[in-house]
Structure 1
Amino acid sequence: MTKLTLGTHPYMLGFEQLERLLERSAKTGNDGYPPFNIEQTSETSYRITLAVAGFAEGDLSITLEDSQLVIRGRQSDDSDGRHFLHRGIAARQFQRSFVLAEGVEVGEAIMENGLLHVDLTRVEPEKIVQTIQIRRG
């Protein structure tokens, strides 16, 4: 018995891209840093919140790359002349990736109290009924 995937299932036509997105999201390599929340703020909107204590707005970048939201952080080394007895606040770079469904748009990003909020909105596609004419061959 052969295993059916989305791309090979006889009733699921054109879903090869979805299968590639699932494979890509499994390979993003997110290691748990920084911690984040995803909340649904309404029927059609979401908010991703990342804990980015110690990062300034200029240390962060948010890009949308082929339906993948990528948030990167890189702090500049500001420990010149400072001697730490203990350094427990992480100052490492990170990359967090989120695969977005078709129709999900990225809204604004807000820094507040060490948290980065990124708002997303799902745009409902217009429902279209199309009649296909049958012609004699």
Structure 2
Amino acid sequence: MRSFDYSPLYRTTVGFDRLFDMLENSVRSDWPPYNIEKNGENDYRITMAVAGFGLDEVELVQNGPELSVTGQRKPDQQNREILHRGLATGNFKQVFKLADHVKVKAANIHNGLLSVDLVREVPDELKPRCIEIGSEARAVPLQDSGNKQSIDSEPQRKVA
């Protein structure tokens, strides 16, 4: 990961401190790594590598078309000195945009992988339906200044 030095910009800008703080402390969008799979016509699965996070440290929230996965580590209670930190220990938040009518069916953590099963459930009233076409000719009343006509009949003509 690249690290940028924003100190020269601090000297030439006023009032942008918060922006530079956000850039320096920004959350990585590529971590934790994840896969999105299509398991059927309406079945999907998101698999995220969340090694080291417990069940009580990962939260899934679906708010309309957004699925938010947040990992918040609890503070380490053990007093130990770490000589090399190679494992990622930071918090994360990943937001997925879901299509219409996609809902979370199940979620579980196994061997450091969070699996979120999704299903698209389109309501019956929104599904395409076949409409039967009849062959019987029917008279349809038309509103024309008080005269009712039918589609099958000829219009009345006045002879002068």
After TM superposition, is the score higher than 0.5? yes
Shift of 1:91: 1.1
3-state SS in 2 of match to 1:42: coil
1:37 counterpart residue number = 35
Q: Could you tell me the TM-score, scaled by structure 2's length?
A: 0.60
Query: Which stretches in structure 1 are left out of the alignment for 5+ residues?
Result: 1-28
Task: Identify if the C-alpha distance between structure 1 residues 62 and 31 changes in structure 2 by more than 3 Å, giving closer, same or farther.
Answer: same
1:48 counterpart residue number = 46
1:126 counterpart residue number = 127
Shift of 1:69: 0.2
Any runs of at least 4 consecutive aligned residues in structure 1 with deviations exceeding 6 A, and if so which? Answer: none
2:88 to 87, 90, 104: 90
Structure number, greater radius of gyration: 2
Identity level (%): 37
Shift of 1:41: 1.0
**1:30 touches 1:97 (CA, 8 Å); kept in 2?**
no
Shift of 1:80: 3.0
- Asked which structure has the greater RCO (Cα within 8 Å, sep 6+), the reply is 1
Computed over aligned residues only, the root mean square deviation of the Cα atoms, in angstroms, reads 2.2
2:61 counterpart residue number = 63
2:158 counterpart residue number = none
3-state SS in 1 of match to 2:79: coil
Relative to total residues, which structure has the larger strand share, 1 or 2? 1
- CA–CA distance in 2 between the matches of 1:63 and 1:89? 26
- CA–CA distance in 2 between the matches of 1:100 and 1:30? 21
What is the 5 A alignment of 1:101-120?
101-120=99-118
- CA–CA distance in 1 between the matches of 2:77 and 2:118? 36
Query: What amino acid is aligned across from residue 101 of structure 1 in structure 2?
Result: A
Task: Identify if the C-alpha distance between structure 1 residues 129 and 43 changes in structure 2 by more than 3 Å, giving closer, same or farther.
Answer: closer
Query: Which stretches in structure 2 are left out of the alignment for 5+ residues?
Result: 1-26, 132-141, 145-160
Shift of 1:136: 5.8
CA-to-aligned-CA distance 1:97-126 (integer Å, 9 cap, x gap): 011111111111010000000000112442
